[in-house]
Amino acid sequence: MKRFVGLFISVALLLQMLLVPSFSGDAADSGVNFTLSAARSGDTLEVSVTVSGDASYNSMALYNLNYDKAYLTFTGFSGNEDILNKVRFPAASFMEDGDITLAFTKAETLNGQICRMHFDIAADIPCGTYTVSGTPLVKNSSAVIASSVAAGSFTVPHVPEYMAAVAATCTTGGS
């Protein structure tokens, strides 16, 4: 019975974190700022997720990951080992769909990278600029703390297509 009650409370905490809308303010005014920095390497994209701010909190989430699913495929996380040592539910912290839900064992004030997200880039991706973003939610107990997200982006440059050389034909006047 205790195990059931513990599981119920855990699920309720995670649902509460996701269902309460975040307070949106300017990045300069926010208590916690998420920054997504994208770096492309061939047919893969790595997005570094960092957090900064001076607010203390016991839970945070970055969910509703927003990216062009026609050309990017989320493949997983790395670099999150340090964070997993600070959360109550490591198995439920970094989800298959890219959502991040962290319920800390005690109040934290993090500054730095919390993880790296990895994406495969489709071979037929057209030229243009692509962004990766999400919805933030940061709480201390039940109080929502102002938070913001600076989206990561990368550009696929235009590659000109050259036409085959055509032999020139010239005529001289009167001939």
95 pLDDT more than 90 = yes
Q: Over the chain, what is the mean pLDDT?
A: 82
| Tokens standing for residue 108 | 């934290």
Query: 120 near 69, Cβ under 8 Å?
Result: no
Q: Which residues on adjacent β-strands are paired with residue 57? A: 108
* pTM to 2 decimal places: 0.73
Band the pLDDT of 129: cuts 50, 70, 90: very high
CB 119 within 8 A of CB 45: yes
Tens of pLDDT, residue by residue over 3-58, are 543 444 444 444 454 444 333 333 344 589 999 999 998 899 999 999 999 999 99
Pick the more confident residue, 157 or 27: 157
What do you get for the CA distance between the two ends of the chain, in Å?
Answer: 104
Q: What is the residue type of 31?
A: G
- Name the burial class of residue 100, with classes exposed (0-12), middle (13-18) and buried (19+) by CB atoms within 10 angstroms of its CB: buried
Count Cβ neighbours within 10 Å for each residue of 2-23 and write b for 16 or more, e otherwise: eeeeeeeeeeebbeebeeeebb
- Average pLDDT score over residue span 57-68: 96
- Scan for tokens 């969910």, then name that residue: 63
Interstrand relation of 44-52 and 57-66 (parallel, antiparallel or unpaired): unpaired
Query: How far is Cα of residue 81 from the mean position of the Cα atoms in its chain?
Result: 17
Q: pLDDT of 65-80, one tens digit each?
A: 999 999 999 999 999 9
AA identity, residue 3:
R
